[in-house]
Amino acid sequence: MRVIRQSFQNFFRNIGPNSAILVIFILIFVLLSSLSGINFTIKKAVEKIRDKADLSIYLKPGVSKNITKDLISDLKNLSAVKKIDVVSPEETLRKFKERHINDPIIMETFKEINRNPFGPMILVRTKQGADLDSILETINLPRYEDIIQDKEVENYQQIVYLVDYYGRKIKYIGLLISGIFILIAILIIFNVVRLNIYNRQDEIKIMRLVGARASFIRLPFLLEVILSAFFAWLIATGIFLVITYYFQSHLDNFLGFQLKFFNYLLNNFLTFFGLQLLLAILLCYFSTSISLNKYLKL
């Protein structure tokens, strides 16, 4: 307990040098949290993209339910098909208008005809890496030619590849920057501990004369650095949680789906933030040990 109290006293007494450690650790924690957040967002975005329809089949108005069921049955028997959804004519019209809302010619045309020109729409979701050829062969059969008005094939696999590719690029760049900051942190800790040893030479000599153990002399230096990392962790975690809370709705609007990243942070607090603190403590121990072994001969 006395060692802990002494460490707190030393921390505030040397607040100037310790502020440098505090700032660099805040930057490291915020950067690591941002990288983890980007990785989480990319993972969820890829899952959402893969769950979208790969093929949209627009049926003509007035198509009989029996023929529609036959088409759906044939599609379900294909190994490439993961899921099939049927959209009503009204919902099909709404989705079409949303997709072409910025096209004044199409929107004006709908006002002129004043009716719903669409029949039902079949959304076909394929298995990951599936080949669309078998599906296209099925819907191009002669018996279905007269009921299909149009079809749209979406290349979501290409989008997934691009999102994943640039996500990895961002992650690698972030890790490189984190590595640079960690090296800077090691150098700062090394020099701060060396400065503290120099400023407390008389105190260390007295402790030696009264027979203090080497671990007792070394421990306050280590705890002082760990305190800097701990306070930095508290500040960085608070900043990241506040920013995430206030910008979550904007991020959801940008992505087009509910990410619920703030809820994820709360439910996985120890995993997300605790590992960062553990990394910082190990970094402090490593850096401080090197400095103590070099400049504090006990």
Q: What is the pLDDT of residues 245-274, one digit of tens each?
A: 888 888 777 777 778 888 888 899 988 898
Alpha helix positions (H), the chain? 2-13, 15-50, 65-76, 89-99, 104-113, 133-139, 142-145, 156-199, 201-209, 214-255, 261-267, 269, 275-295
Query: Is the CB of residue 5 less than 8 Å from the CB of residue 130?
Result: no
Q: What is the CATH number of domain 53-153?
A: 3.30.70.3040
Q: Residue 125: is its pLDDT beyond 90?
A: no
pLDDT at residue 7 in the model = 66
Chain-centroid distance of CA 74 in Å reads: 39
Q: What Rg, from alpha-carbon coordinates, does the chain have?
A: 31
Q: Residue 6: is its pLDDT beyond 70?
A: no
Residue 126 CB coordination number (10 Å) = 22
Q: Looking at residues 129-136, what average pLDDT do you find?
A: 71
pLDDT at residue 236 in the model = 93
- Mean pLDDT is lowest, of 78-87, 138-147, 186-195, 200-209, for 200-209
pLDDT band at 238 (very low <50, low <70, confident <90, very high): very high
54 three-state secondary structure = coil
Q: Looking at residues 125-144, what average pLDDT do you find?
A: 76
Q: Which residues pair with 152 in a beta bridge?
A: 56
Q: Which of 48-52, 137-141, 196-200 has the highest mean pLDDT?
A: 137-141
CA angle 45, 50, 54 (to 5 degrees): 135
- What distance in Å separates the CA atoms of residue 94 and residue 109, rounded to the nearest whole number? 14
- What distance in Å separates the CA atoms of residue 208 and residue 224, rounded to the nearest whole number? 20
pLDDT at residue 20 in the model = 84
Domain ranges of the chain: 2-48+159-295, 53-153
Which of 105, 107, 88, 89 lies closest to 97 in space, CA to CA?
Answer: 107
Q: What is the pLDDT of residues 36-92, one digit of tens each?
A: 888 888 888 777 776 665 788 888 887 777 888 888 888 888 888 888 888 887 887
